Amino acid sequence: MRKRVAPRVSSAVRGHRRIICVTASAALLVPLLIDRSIDTGGPADQRLQDDYTAAADEYHVPRSIVLGVSYLQSRWDSHPGTPSVVGGYGPMHLVDTRALQDRRTPRRSASPLPGAATAEPPAPYAAGAPADRTGQPADLRRAASLIGLPAERLRADDAANVRGGAALLAAAQRSLGKPLSANPADWWDAVARFPGTTDSAAAATYANDVFEVIHRGAHRTTDAGQRVALAANPRVRPHAPRTSGAQGAQGVECPAGVACSWLSAPYVRIDEDAYGNHDLADRPKDQRIEYIVIHDTEAPLSSMLQTIQDPEEASWHYSIRSSDGHITQHIKTKDAAWHSGNQFVNGRSIGVEHEGFLRHPDAWYTEEMYRSSARLVRYLAKKYQVPLDRQHIFGHDNVPSPTEESIPDMHDDPGPFWDWRHYFDLLGAPLRGTAGPDSDVVMILPDYARNTPRFTGCSSSGVPCAPHGSSAVHLHTEPADNAPLIQDPGRRPDGDDSTEDVNDLGSRVSAGQTFAVADRSGEWTAIWFQGHKGWFRNPPSNPVAVGTRGRTVTPKAGLSEIPVFGRALPEGAAYPDGVDEQSESPLPYTISAGQRYVTQSRVLGTYVDRSSFGESPAPVVKGEEAYYEIQLDHRLAYVRAGDVDVVNPPAAAGPNVAPPQAPKP
C-alpha cells in the first residue's frame, strides 16, 4: 500500500485522512512457461533475430518494420509470458482482450467520492472510433487466427508471437488498399494503426517513433538473453509531427504530438485549520523550478484519478497511463503540488506519476509510458531550464527526508526496476562516463538487462523475486559478496541490518547517480555513502560503474565533521515579522574530514509558510546562506556552503571528454 504524506495539514485532518488501498491482481504475478518448439539451428542467442527475419519474409513485411514495431511495443523483450496491464504478451505485445476480461483486475477498496467527477482520459481502445481507425489494439486472437495457431502459443512462444505481429501488419496494409511493398516508407499508415489508439496525435507519434528507430537503428540484449539488432536506415524518416487539436483548448501544458487531457486537483478550504490539496504559487517568478520527480502510483490510474480530486489527499502535477502513455495534467506547473514528502522539494519541483507497481514492472512499465514521460519531462526541463541529470531528474525514492523522524516514512518508488539508463536515452541526455577507470568520481551505470541483483518481497515478504534487470546496485561494508550490506541508521534506528527487500533502500545506489571514490580493492570499488565506505563489485567484464568527472565537496580544513540536512532553510534574520523561524533539523548522518560527495547544484535557503488557505500565493522567505546539494546515499541531501570546500575535477583528458556542469547559483 502506498502512503502519501501531505504538508501543512492540521492534526485533526491528518487523523482521519483516508488512505486508498489497492491489491494487484494475482494473475499478473504468475509468468507462463515459454515453450519454444521452433529451433532454427543458429546461435542460441540469435534465435529471436532469426524469428523476425522469418516472419517478415513469410508475410512480405519489411523486416525493419517488424523489428521497429516490436521495439516500440516491448524493446524486443518477452517478459517471460507475463502479460502487461492491458493483457499484452510477447515481443510484439499482442493483446488478448478476452484473457484480460477474464482476469480479476485490481479494484479500489474505497467507494467513489460523493459528488466526485468521474472524468478519465480517453480509453486507449475506445468504441466509436473514427472510420479510418480500428480502435483495436494488436489483437492476439486475431493474429492467432491469421497464422493458424492457438492463442496460447502466441502468449507463450516468442516465434509465434512475432509471426502474429507480422501477419497483423500485413493485414492492416491490405485493408488500407496498399501493396505489400518492400519499401519501409510505404508502411507508415499501417504502423500507425498497430497500437489501436483512437487519438490521431498519439497514433502519429507512435508511427514516427517506429520510423525514428528504423532511421537511427538499435541493438540490445533482451530479457531472455537474445541479441537483436536493427541496422540504421537513414533514408527512412518520420513524418512531420501532428498536434492534438484538443490540446490547446484544454490549456494543458504538454508538448506537441502527445495525447493530453486535464482533470483538476482542488484547492479548497477543508476547515478553519486546514486546506487541500496543493499550494498556489507563481513559479518560476517567486521560486525557481529545480527538479522533476518521477513517481509510480502503486495503484491503477482509475484509483489515482479519484485520489487527485480529494482535497484531503496529496497531489501531483501529471499522471501517465501505462497502456498508451496518455498524460493527464492536474495542477498548473506554476503551483506547488504535495507529492514528494518534503515541502522544500515540493516548492521547487514538478511531480509526475506513472501508473504502475514497482514490484511488477513488466506488467506496468511500458515503452509507451517511458516515451510519453520522456517527451513530457524533456519539454518541462527545457521550459524551466532544469538540467538533465540525476540530481535534478530523480525518483520519489531519491527525495531527501526533511527531518530525521520522517526518514522511515519516505517513499521508495519507482523502485529498482525503473530503467533510468533507458529513460535518459529517451530524454536525449544519455548517461555515460566522462573519465577513465581510475577516476576519483564514478557514475553508477550497470547494463540493465545483465544487472540482476537479488531482491526479495516481490510476491510476499522474504520470498526471492524472479531474476530481473535492474538499475540498482547493492553496497556492502567490506569488499566481499558475503559481507553485510551497508546499514542505514535513519531507516533502521534500532540498529537492524539492511535487507534485500525490494522496498529497502538502505544499501542501494542507482543508475546515473555519481559518487566520490573512497577506495579500491581488486574488482571492488568503495564510494563515500552516508559517511562510510560502501563497497560494490565492479568487474571490467561487466562494470556497474564508470569513471566520470564531477565537482565534489569536502569539510573545510579544521572541521572534523559537518552536519547534513534534508532541506535548505533560510538563516534566522531572513524571516519577516509574522512568519515563525523554522528550526534546523540535521539528519542522523555526518560527513567526516577527508570524505567527498558529488554536487551538481548550489541553492539558497528558502521557506514558504503554508499554514493557511489564501486567494494568492504565500510569500517565499529567501535567505542569503547557500547550500550545496549532494548525493549522500540513495537520496539527495544538503550541506552548508560555509562548511565545505569545493573540489573541482582535473582538466579533461581529451577532446571527447565533456566538461562538468557548474553548480547553479
Q: Which residue has the higher pLDDT, 452 or 197?
A: 452
Q: What is the pLDDT of residue 258?
A: 86
Percent of the chain clearing pLDDT 90 (strictly above):
77
For residue 109, what pLDDT band results from cuts at 50, 70 and 90?
A: very low
Q: In this structure, what C-alpha cell is assigned to residue 471?
A: 538499475
Closest CA to 6 of 256, 253, 343: 343
Cell 492536474 locates to 330
CA 109 to chain centre: 26
Beta-carbon contacts of residue 638 (< 8 Å; ≥ 6 apart): 400, 564, 565, 566, 567, 568, 603, 627, 628, 629, 630
Is-contact 59 166, C-beta < 8 A? yes
Is-contact 421 448, C-beta < 8 A? yes
Is the confidence at residue 36, as pLDDT, over 80? no
Q: Could you tell me which residues are beta bridge partners of residue 262?
A: 329
Superfamily of domain 1-30+243-416: Peptidoglycan recognition protein-like (3.40.80.10)
From 56-65, 74-83, 544-553, the region with the lowest mean pLDDT = 74-83
- Using CA atoms, how far apart are residues 304 and 108, in angstroms rounded to an integer? 9
Is the confidence at residue 356, as pLDDT, over 80? yes
Percent of the chain clearing pLDDT 70 (strictly above):
84
For residue 202, what pLDDT band results from cuts at 50, 70 and 90?
A: confident
Q: What is the pLDDT of residue 102?
A: 57
Q: What is the pLDDT of residue 115?
A: 32
Is the confidence at residue 71, as pLDDT, over 90? yes
Mean pLDDT of the chain: 87
Is the confidence at residue 645, as pLDDT, over 90? yes
- Using CA atoms, how far apart are residues 613 and 43, in angstroms rounded to an integer? 67
Q: For residue 477, how many other CB atoms are within 10 A of its CB?
A: 18
Q: What is the pLDDT of residue 306?
A: 97
For residue 20, what pLDDT band results from cuts at 50, 70 and 90?
A: very low
Cell 497464422 locates to 147
Return phi, psi of residue 172, to 5°. -65, -40
CB crowding 398-410: b at 16 or more within 10 Å, else e = bbbbbebebbeeb
pLDDT tens column, 602-636? 999 999 998 899 999 999 999 999 999 999 999 99
pLDDT tens column, 267-320? 999 998 899 999 999 999 999 999 999 999 999 999 999 999 999 999 999 999
For residue 493, what pLDDT band results from cuts at 50, 70 and 90?
A: confident
The residue type of 366 is T
pTM for the model: 0.88
Is the confidence at residue 18, as pLDDT, over 70? no
Q: What is the pLDDT of residue 26?
A: 32
Q: What is the mean pLDDT of residues 211-233?
A: 96
Q: What is the pLDDT of residue 532?
A: 97
Q: Please write down the long-range contacts of 382-388, taking CB distance under 8 Å and 24 or more positions apart.
A: 383/253, 383/333, 384/284, 384/288, 384/289, 384/333, 384/350, 386/289, 386/290, 386/291, 386/292, 387/600, 387/601, 387/661, 387/664, 388/424, 388/427, 388/428, 388/429
What beta strand segments (E) does 356-404 contain? Answer: 393-395
Is-contact 158 74, C-beta < 8 A? no
pLDDT tens column, 360-403? 999 999 999 999 999 999 999 999 999 999 999 999 999 999 99
Specify the pairing of strand 597-608 against strand 552-555.
Answer: antiparallel
Q: What is the pLDDT of residue 257?
A: 79
Q: What is the pLDDT of residue 32?
A: 29
pLDDT tens column, 392-440? 999 999 999 999 999 999 999 999 999 999 999 999 999 999 999 999 9
Is the confidence at residue 67, as pLDDT, over 70? yes
Q: What is the pLDDT of residue 81?
A: 75
Q: What is the mean pLDDT of residues 327-353?
A: 98
- Using CA atoms, how far apart are residues 290 and 392, in angstroms rounded to an integer? 7
Is-contact 487 481, C-beta < 8 A? no
Closest CA to 444 of 474, 468, 467: 474
Q: What is the pLDDT of residue 481?
A: 96
End-to-end CA distance of the chain: 39
Q: What is the mean pLDDT of residues 483-498?
A: 91
Cell 548522518 locates to 589
Is the confidence at residue 650, as pLDDT, over 70? yes
Q: Which residue has the higher pLDDT, 97 or 285?
A: 285
List the chain domain ranges.
1-30+243-416, 35-109+124-230, 433-548, 553-647
Identify the DSSP state of 567: S
Range of 112-116, 643-647, 661-665 with top mean pLDDT: 643-647
Q: In this structure, what C-alpha cell is assigned to residue 483?
A: 559481507
- Using CA atoms, how far apart are residues 429 and 420, in angstroms rounded to an integer? 11
Q: What is the pLDDT of residue 198?
A: 81
User: Do the domains at 1-30+243-416 and 35-109+124-230 have one common CATH topology?
Assistant: no
Cell 507529492 locates to 339
Closest CA to 278 of 618, 598, 592, 575: 618
Q: What is the mean pLDDT of residues 241-252?
A: 56
Q: What is the pLDDT of residue 41?
A: 59
- Using CA atoms, how far apart are residues 167 and 79, in angstroms rounded to an integer? 21
> What Å distances lie between residue 150 and 54, 98, 141, 145, 146, CA to CA?
19, 14, 8, 8, 10
pLDDT tens column, 140-165? 999 999 999 999 999 999 999 999 99
- Using CA atoms, how far apart are residues 643 and 639, in angstroms rounded to an integer? 7
The residue type of 620 is V
For residue 136, what pLDDT band results from cuts at 50, 70 and 90?
A: confident
The answer to whether domain 35-109+124-230 has CATH 1.10.530 is yes
For residue 103, what pLDDT band results from cuts at 50, 70 and 90?
A: low
pLDDT tens column, 165-176? 999 999 999 999
Return phi, psi of residue 356, to 5°. 165, 170
Q: What is the pLDDT of residue 86?
A: 87
Q: What is the pLDDT of residue 12?
A: 33
For residue 31, what pLDDT band results from cuts at 50, 70 and 90?
A: very low
Q: What is the pLDDT of residue 660?
A: 41
Q: What is the pLDDT of residue 490?
A: 93
What beta strand segments (E) does 146-267 contain? Answer: 218-221, 227-230, 260-262
